[in-house]
Structure 1
Amino acid sequence: MKLIAGLGNPGGQYAETRHNVGFLLLDTWAEELKLDFRPKFQGLISETQRFGEKVFLLKPQTFMNLSGRSIREIAQFYKIPSQDILVVHDDMDLPLGRIRLRQSGSAGGHNGIKSTIAEIGTEEFWRLRIGIGRPPAGWDPADYVLGSFNKEELPTLEEVLDRGQKVMDLWVQGESNKAMNTYNR
């Protein structure tokens, strides 16, 4: 059993923002797999079978800073160990178009990851970091992450969401090393 949690903020005003790239990736994958989300565990969940594994998709609805609560609730209920959890989130330290799969690590200043570490009690869970790049000079980082992708960024975003789906498929199959070697560039 696997859990993939995409981080973001609930509400239409945040739907297409950089900070919601975790939601965007799960929405893209769910659309391709013809899955629907339903409310549960302080989030929206969907489930599917992939490669012989039951996989839960979760979009916490607690706002980014508290997203670990939703992840903890579903992980405890289904007894999903931390090594079978993948959290998908935005990362300003990676340029737009870059992704990184990592097995563990610190929060790196990301409040959703801080919340997840605090709630599940370990840094030992998988992360799929999706680059959104740094804000232009003079921009407030909060305004940047809560801003929408511009027209010129959309083709790159679509391409990275496609690669993200491939990474998630490999991760579900237990092919994390292959995913990292292929897509961490």
Structure 2
Amino acid sequence: MKFLIVGLGNIGAEYHHTRHNIGFDVADALAVKHNVSFNSDRLADVATVRWKGKILVIIKPTTYMNLSGRAVKYWMDKEKIPAENMMVILDELALPLTTLRIRPGGSDAGHNGLKSIQEAIATNQYPRLRFGIGNDFPKGRQVDYVLGRWNEKEEPVVRQKIDKCVEVIESFATIGLPRTMNNYNNLTFPL
């Protein structure tokens, strides 16, 4: 069984560890846990985990967020991985920092990375792991907030949630999406 794990983010030092790059941070944590490294490849940095009879192809698109679909489509086709065996990890403004949500599909909800993926693979039915980042910003400052770094108070919960996301991905690959959703969707992380 082969899975495509897609961490969404933007390349470049200025985006490193920002709220919008949480998908990259989760992908990095998964690679570290399984002692694998990323290599630059076509449209993405790629690492492969072989674990419990599963193969997890982890990608961090190097196309920038708005063109993530190009990398996703390429790696789905190259590795012959169906949409239901893909999990996309992304930042989610509509969820508080204290939550994670796993969904089997749905709209892009204005997220440019999801919009690009949906256009590239012609479906919105693929699992996604939405990492709540909250929406604690003044009117008109959304871009600054999303592209900003975590504050000192947020850091411990962010680290805890990243570790939990790694568990979610492993669970998805071993026991499937429905049971993973049941096990993780109601968790809250104290601030």
TM-score by length of 1: 0.97
Match of 1:170 in 2: 171
Please list every run of 5 or more consecutive structure 2 residues that lacks an aligned counterpart in the other structure.
187-191
* Structure 1 Cα separation of the partners of residues 3 and 159 of structure 2: 25
What letter is aligned with 1:45?
Answer: V
Percent identity of equivalent pairs:
36
* Structure 2 Cα separation of the partners of residues 167 and 32 of structure 1: 13
Match of 1:76 in 2: 77
Match of 1:28 in 2: 29
Greater mean alpha carbon deviation, residues 69-78 or residues 169-178: 169-178
Q: Report the Cα offset of residue 116 of structure 1.
A: 0.3
What letter is aligned with 1:121?
Answer: A
Aligned-partner SS, 2:49: strand
Determine whether 1:52 maps to 2:53.
Answer: yes
Q: Report the Cα offset of residue 29 of structure 1.
A: 1.3
Greater mean alpha carbon deviation, residues 174-183 or residues 28-37: 174-183
Q: Report the Cα offset of residue 18 of structure 1.
A: 0.1
* Structure 1 Cα separation of the partners of residues 139 and 8 of structure 2: 26
RMSD: 1.0
What letter is aligned with 1:35?
Answer: V
* Structure 2 Cα separation of the partners of residues 158 and 21 of structure 1: 10
Match of 2:62 in 1: 61
Contact 1:102 1:128 in 2 (8 A): yes
Stretches of 4+ moved more than 4 A in 1?
none
What letter is aligned with 1:44?
Answer: D
Greater mean alpha carbon deviation, residues 83-92 or residues 138-147: 138-147
TM-score by length of 2: 0.94
Please list every run of 5 or more consecutive structure 1 residues that lacks an aligned counterpart in the other structure.
none
Q: Report the Cα offset of residue 139 of structure 1.
A: 4.9
1:113-135 Cα deviation digits (max 9, x unpaired): 00000001111111000000003
Match of 1:102 in 2: 103
